[in-house]
Homo-oligomer: A and B are copies of this chain.
Protein backbone atom coordinates (compact mmCIF):
# COMPACT_ATOMS: atom_id res chain seq x y z
CA UNK A 1 0.00 0.00 0.00
CA UNK A 2 2.83 2.38 0.74
CA UNK A 3 3.86 2.16 -2.86
CA UNK A 4 0.69 4.05 -3.69
CA UNK A 5 1.83 7.09 -1.78
CA UNK A 6 2.64 9.78 -4.32
CA UNK A 7 6.29 10.70 -4.57
CA UNK A 8 7.23 7.82 -2.32
CA UNK A 9 10.98 7.58 -2.54
CA UNK A 10 12.47 4.18 -3.02
CA UNK A 11 15.06 3.47 -0.38
CA UNK A 12 18.46 2.28 -1.51
CA UNK A 13 19.57 0.38 1.60
CA UNK A 14 17.84 -1.44 4.38
CA UNK A 15 17.55 0.86 7.40
CA UNK A 16 19.36 -0.14 10.58
CA UNK A 17 17.55 -1.73 13.49
CA UNK A 18 17.74 1.44 15.53
CA UNK A 19 16.29 3.43 12.66
CA UNK A 20 13.38 1.03 12.46
CA UNK A 21 12.65 1.42 16.13
CA UNK A 22 12.84 5.18 15.91
CA UNK A 23 10.67 5.15 12.85
CA UNK A 24 8.05 2.97 14.51
CA UNK A 25 8.08 5.20 17.56
CA UNK A 26 7.52 8.23 15.35
CA UNK A 27 4.69 6.54 13.47
CA UNK A 28 2.98 5.53 16.71
CA UNK A 29 3.40 9.01 18.14
CA UNK A 30 2.06 10.58 14.96
CA UNK A 31 -0.92 8.25 15.11
CA UNK A 32 -1.78 9.30 18.63
CA UNK A 33 -1.33 13.01 17.97
CA UNK A 34 -3.28 12.95 14.70
CA UNK A 35 -6.03 11.04 16.49
CA UNK A 36 -6.48 13.58 19.23
CA UNK A 37 -5.94 16.76 17.23
CA UNK A 38 -6.85 15.99 13.63
CA UNK A 39 -4.44 16.73 10.81
CA UNK A 40 -4.26 20.51 10.94
CA UNK A 41 -4.13 21.04 14.68
CA UNK A 42 -1.42 18.43 15.04
CA UNK A 43 2.07 19.85 14.75
CA UNK A 44 5.33 18.17 13.90
CA UNK A 45 6.55 19.53 17.22
CA UNK A 46 3.76 17.76 19.11
CA UNK A 47 4.60 14.55 17.33
CA UNK A 48 8.31 14.91 18.04
CA UNK A 49 7.61 15.56 21.71
CA UNK A 50 5.27 12.56 21.90
CA UNK A 51 7.93 10.35 20.28
CA UNK A 52 10.68 11.90 22.41
CA UNK A 53 12.83 12.71 19.41
CA UNK A 54 13.95 15.95 17.79
CA UNK A 55 11.66 17.66 15.32
CA UNK A 56 13.95 17.18 12.37
CA UNK A 57 13.79 13.41 12.79
CA UNK A 58 10.09 13.42 12.15
CA UNK A 59 10.61 15.02 8.77
CA UNK A 60 13.52 12.70 8.10
CA UNK A 61 11.52 9.51 8.72
CA UNK A 62 8.05 10.62 7.80
CA UNK A 63 8.64 13.06 4.99
CA UNK A 64 6.34 16.04 4.90
CA UNK A 65 3.47 16.27 7.32
CA UNK A 66 1.04 15.11 4.66
CA UNK A 67 3.21 12.16 3.63
CA UNK A 68 3.48 11.18 7.27
CA UNK A 69 -0.30 11.20 7.57
CA UNK A 70 -0.64 8.97 4.51
CA UNK A 71 1.91 6.55 5.90
CA UNK A 72 0.17 6.39 9.27
CA UNK A 73 -3.15 5.53 7.65
CA UNK A 74 -1.78 3.16 5.01
CA UNK A 75 0.22 1.14 7.51
CA UNK A 76 -2.84 -0.12 9.37
CA UNK A 77 -5.26 -0.07 6.46
CA UNK A 78 -3.10 -2.71 4.85
CA UNK A 79 -3.16 -5.03 7.84
CA UNK A 80 -6.83 -4.51 8.53
CA UNK A 81 -7.94 -4.92 4.92
CA UNK A 82 -6.11 -8.25 4.69
CA UNK A 83 -7.63 -9.49 7.93
CA UNK A 84 -11.10 -8.57 6.77
CA UNK A 85 -10.80 -10.31 3.43
CA UNK A 86 -9.27 -13.37 5.11
CA UNK A 87 -12.20 -13.55 7.53
CA UNK A 88 -14.56 -13.36 4.58
CA UNK A 89 -12.81 -16.17 2.70
CA UNK A 90 -12.80 -18.41 5.75
CA UNK A 91 -16.47 -17.84 6.38
CA UNK A 92 -17.31 -18.41 2.76
CA UNK A 93 -15.56 -21.78 2.79
CA UNK A 94 -17.87 -22.93 5.57
CA UNK A 95 -21.21 -22.31 3.91
CA UNK A 96 -23.32 -19.67 2.23
CA UNK A 97 -22.92 -16.10 3.41
CA UNK A 98 -25.58 -13.98 5.03
CA UNK A 99 -25.72 -10.24 5.62
CA UNK A 100 -24.87 -10.49 9.32
CA UNK A 101 -22.03 -12.91 8.55
CA UNK A 102 -20.51 -10.53 6.01
CA UNK A 103 -20.77 -7.62 8.43
CA UNK A 104 -19.14 -9.67 11.17
CA UNK A 105 -16.22 -10.31 8.83
CA UNK A 106 -15.91 -6.57 8.28
CA UNK A 107 -16.40 -5.36 11.85
CA UNK A 108 -14.82 -8.30 13.68
CA UNK A 109 -11.15 -7.91 12.72
CA UNK A 110 -11.38 -4.23 13.49
CA UNK A 111 -12.63 -4.71 17.03
CA UNK A 112 -10.23 -7.59 17.61
CA UNK A 113 -7.34 -5.33 16.73
CA UNK A 114 -8.73 -2.65 19.00
CA UNK A 115 -8.99 -5.20 21.81
CA UNK A 116 -5.47 -6.56 21.52
CA UNK A 117 -3.66 -3.54 20.10
CA UNK A 118 -5.26 -1.12 22.51
CA UNK A 119 -4.80 2.64 22.28
CA UNK A 120 -2.88 2.61 19.01
CA UNK A 121 -5.75 1.00 17.16
CA UNK A 122 -8.29 3.24 18.80
CA UNK A 123 -6.18 6.17 17.64
CA UNK A 124 -6.20 4.73 14.13
CA UNK A 125 -9.97 4.41 14.28
CA UNK A 126 -10.35 8.03 15.23
CA UNK A 127 -8.14 9.03 12.33
CA UNK A 128 -10.27 6.98 9.95
CA UNK A 129 -13.29 8.87 11.23
CA UNK A 130 -11.59 12.16 10.40
CA UNK A 131 -10.59 10.90 6.97
CA UNK A 132 -14.13 9.75 6.24
CA UNK A 133 -15.70 13.06 7.24
CA UNK A 134 -13.39 15.20 5.13
CA UNK A 135 -13.43 15.46 1.35
CA UNK A 136 -9.84 16.50 1.41
CA UNK A 137 -8.74 12.89 2.02
CA UNK A 138 -10.83 11.45 -0.81
CA UNK A 139 -7.74 10.12 -2.60
CA UNK A 140 -6.34 8.61 0.55
CA UNK A 141 -9.64 6.89 1.25
CA UNK A 142 -9.93 5.65 -2.31
CA UNK A 143 -6.47 4.09 -2.29
CA UNK A 144 -6.49 2.66 1.23
CA UNK A 145 -10.11 1.64 1.73
CA UNK A 146 -11.82 1.12 -1.61
CA UNK A 147 -10.37 -2.27 -2.58
CA UNK A 148 -11.68 -3.90 0.59
CA UNK A 149 -14.91 -1.92 0.55
CA UNK A 150 -15.63 -2.97 -3.03
CA UNK A 151 -15.11 -6.59 -2.17
CA UNK A 152 -17.60 -6.42 0.70
CA UNK A 153 -20.19 -4.54 -1.32
CA UNK A 154 -19.95 -7.22 -4.00
CA UNK A 155 -20.54 -10.00 -1.50
CA UNK A 156 -23.51 -8.16 -0.05
CA UNK A 157 -24.94 -7.31 -3.46
CA UNK A 158 -24.74 -10.97 -4.47
CA UNK A 159 -27.44 -11.68 -1.89
CA UNK A 160 -29.94 -9.41 -3.65
CA UNK A 161 -31.31 -8.74 -7.08
CA UNK A 162 -29.00 -6.72 -9.37
CA UNK A 163 -31.13 -3.58 -9.23
CA UNK A 164 -30.61 -3.40 -5.47
CA UNK A 165 -26.88 -2.85 -5.85
CA UNK A 166 -26.95 0.89 -5.28
CA UNK A 167 -29.11 0.48 -2.19
CA UNK A 168 -26.66 -2.08 -0.88
CA UNK A 169 -23.76 0.32 -1.48
CA UNK A 170 -25.57 3.08 0.41
CA UNK A 171 -26.32 0.68 3.23
CA UNK A 172 -22.67 -0.34 3.42
CA UNK A 173 -21.57 3.30 3.70
CA UNK A 174 -24.13 3.78 6.48
CA UNK A 175 -22.75 0.69 8.19
CA UNK A 176 -19.21 2.02 8.08
CA UNK A 177 -20.40 5.38 9.41
CA UNK A 178 -22.16 3.59 12.25
CA UNK A 179 -19.06 1.58 13.09
CA UNK A 180 -17.02 4.76 13.31
CA UNK A 181 -19.73 6.39 15.42
CA UNK A 182 -19.39 3.55 17.89
CA UNK A 183 -15.71 4.46 18.29
CA UNK A 184 -16.02 8.24 18.35
CA UNK A 185 -19.41 8.75 19.97
CA UNK A 186 -19.76 6.10 22.60
CA UNK A 187 -19.96 8.80 25.26
CA UNK A 188 -22.92 10.22 23.38
CA UNK A 189 -24.76 6.92 23.32
CA UNK A 190 -24.26 6.59 27.05
CA UNK A 191 -25.47 10.11 27.70
CA UNK A 192 -28.59 9.69 25.57
CA UNK A 193 -29.29 6.19 26.84
CA UNK A 194 -28.92 7.17 30.48
CA UNK A 195 -26.78 4.13 31.14
CA UNK A 196 -23.20 2.93 30.78
CA UNK A 197 -22.69 0.52 27.98
CA UNK A 198 -21.71 -3.12 27.98
CA UNK A 199 -18.79 -3.27 25.56
CA UNK A 200 -19.34 -6.92 24.70
CA UNK A 201 -22.90 -6.25 23.56
CA UNK A 202 -21.89 -3.48 21.26
CA UNK A 203 -20.60 -5.43 18.34
CA UNK A 204 -23.69 -7.63 18.33
CA UNK A 205 -25.98 -4.62 18.41
CA UNK A 206 -24.05 -2.88 15.68
CA UNK A 207 -24.33 -5.95 13.48
CA UNK A 208 -28.04 -6.27 14.22
CA UNK A 209 -28.62 -2.62 13.40
CA UNK A 210 -26.71 -2.64 10.13
CA UNK A 211 -27.88 -6.02 8.89
CA UNK A 212 -31.53 -5.12 9.37
CA UNK A 213 -30.92 -1.73 7.80
CA UNK A 214 -29.18 -3.07 4.72
CA UNK A 215 -31.85 -5.70 4.24
CA UNK A 216 -34.65 -3.13 4.53
CA UNK A 217 -32.97 -0.73 2.10
CA UNK A 218 -32.21 -3.49 -0.40
CA UNK A 219 -35.72 -4.94 -0.21
CA UNK A 220 -37.07 -1.63 -1.45
CA UNK A 221 -35.42 -2.35 -4.79
CA UNK A 222 -35.20 -6.10 -5.24
CA UNK A 223 -35.95 -9.34 -3.46
CA UNK A 224 -33.39 -11.40 -1.59
CA UNK A 225 -32.27 -14.42 -3.60
CA UNK A 226 -30.65 -16.56 -0.94
A-side residues, CB < 8 A to B, are 36-41, 129-130, 132-135, 138, 141-142, 146, 149-150, 153, 165-174, 176-178, 180-182, 184-185, 187-195, 197, 202, 204-206, 208-217, 220
Contact = CB atoms under 8 A, between A and B. Distances in A.
Contacts of A187: 138
Contacts of A150: 192
B174 A178 contact: yes
B185 A204 contact: no
A149 B208 contact: no
B189 A170 contact: yes
Number of copies of this chain in the oligomer?
2
Nearest to A141: B188
Given A40-B38, A178-B177, A169 B184 contact: no
Contacts of A40: 37-41
Contact of A209 (B36, B38, B171): B171
A202 B177 CA distance: 16
A209 B213 CA distance: 4
Nearest to A169: B193
Contacts of A178: 174, 177-178, 213
A170 B191 contact: no
Contact of A213 (B146, B173, B202, B213): B213
A193 B41 contact: no
B217 A189 contact: no
Nearest to A202: B170
A199 to B, nearest CB: 12
A195 B165 contact: yes
A133 B184 contact: yes
Nearest to A205: B217
